[in-house]
């Protein structure tokens, strides 16, 4: 019978996230992940055969965490009779992202932009959310607009472009929530 592994994949991914947050995705190396995790390079390579495999796993875990957090809120809202994909996203967005997550989000986003394979994972994740909105919301167009507004808010904050004070943030989220049930009509686009 072999020895029980002491290091699990999650702790290696935790270390990889730390490296990405601190040093940037471009500076992620197997050696840095091993040093951050306090393990040998061989231990990292046992589970993740390359830097690319580590980055893909970090991105995939980030999507899973984000989707799980939204799912938990959606389930809680369902208990109260007001479930909606868009509403769960608004509740989740009610608190700004933690400062320690902001660097990781910014650096992971840079990796998504630079790597077509990683970007494809983001595209599939976004398409799945938009499909759920179209399939489940009472007002799919209004809910989709609300989702787009929330994503814009997240990008501003995650990329450290702008921060809203709590009162303004609450007002914006109330107005975004109004969009969830809105039935937008055909409006002509402005022309020059």
Cα distance between residue 117 and residue 156, in whole Å: 24
pLDDT of residue 123: 92
pLDDT of residue 5: 52
91 Cβ neighbours under 8 A, 6+ residues apart: 73, 77
pLDDT of residue 85: 86
How far is the CA of 138 from the CAs of 48, 80, 82, 144, 191, in angstroms?
43, 17, 11, 11, 32
Cα distance between residue 139 and residue 144, in whole Å: 9
105 Cβ neighbours under 8 A, 6+ residues apart: 97, 158, 159
Kindly report the number of other CB atoms within 10 A of residue 110's CB atom.
15
Low-confidence ranges of the chain (pLDDT < 70): 1-7, 82-83
Model-wide pTM > 0.75: yes
pLDDT of residue 126: 92
Burial status of residue 81 (CB atoms within 10 A of its CB: 0-12, 13-18, 19 or more):
exposed
């Amino acid at each position: 019978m072999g020895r029980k592994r002491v290091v699990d994949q999650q702790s290696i991914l935790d270390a990889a996230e730390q490296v990405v947050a601190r040093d940037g995705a471009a500076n992620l190396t197997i050696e840095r992940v091993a040093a951050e995790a306090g393990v040998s390079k061989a231990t990292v390579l046992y589970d993740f055969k390359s830097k690319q495999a580590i980055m893909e796993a970090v991105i995939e875990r980030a999507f899973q965490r984000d989707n799980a957090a939204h799912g938990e809120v959606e389930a809680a809202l369902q208990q109260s009779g007001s479930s909606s994909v868009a509403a769960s996203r608004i509740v989740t967005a009610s608190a700004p992202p933690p400062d320690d997550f902001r660097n990781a989000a910014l650096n992971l986003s840079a990796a998504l932009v630079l790597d077509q394979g990683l970007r494809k994972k983001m595209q599939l994740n976004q398409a799945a959310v938009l499909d759920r909105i179209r399939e489940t919301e009472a007002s799919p167009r209004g809910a989709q607009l609300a989702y787009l507004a929330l994503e814009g808010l997240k990008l501003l904050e995650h990329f450290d472009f702008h921060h809203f004070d709590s009162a303004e943030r609450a007002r914006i989220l109330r107005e975004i929530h109004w969009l969830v049930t809105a039935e937008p009509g055909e409006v002509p686009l402005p022309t020059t």
